[in-house]
Amino acid sequence: MATADQVKALIQSHSDGDDTRFLAIALQVAAQAAKSGHARFAQELRDLVDKARERAKTQTSVASAKAIPLVQPRGELAGLLSVG
């Protein structure tokens, strides 16, 4: 099972918004669980990490594909900028 340091690191990485570190620590917990004979729990953790990584990839590609809305320039800026 997870050590106290791993639990603290999970909470810290979550509060920092560091998803990469959070998932890496979760995989460490899964490896330790597998060593301790908790194969089913370890596999469930690995599956959850895989799903989270896939979801993050999907969200990143969707976010990068969206157009960024722009405001139509007014006043003095209208003559300087062209919005197409």
Task: Pick out the chain residues at pLDDT < 70.
Answer: 61-71, 73, 77-78, 81-84
Q: How many structural domains compose the chain?
A: 1
Position 83 in a domain = no
The pLDDT of residue 61:
67
Position 72 in a domain = no
The pLDDT of residue 14:
94
Position 76 in a domain = no
Query: Cβ neighbours of residue 36 under 8 Å, at least 6 residues apart?
Result: 1
Query: Which tokens in the block code for residue 74?
Result: 């007014």
Query: Which tokens in the block code for residue 60?
Result: 């990143």
Position 10 in a domain = yes
Rounded to two decimals, what is the model's pTM? Answer: 0.68
Position 26 in a domain = yes
15 is in which domain, residue-wise?
A: 4-59
Position 47 in a domain = yes
- What are the CA-CA distances from residue 84 to residues 13, 63, 69, 70, 81 (Å)? 41, 21, 12, 10, 10
Q: CB neighbours (10 Å) of residue 58?
A: 10
* Cα–Cα distance for residue pair 52/1, rounded to 1 Å: 21
Position 81 in a domain = no
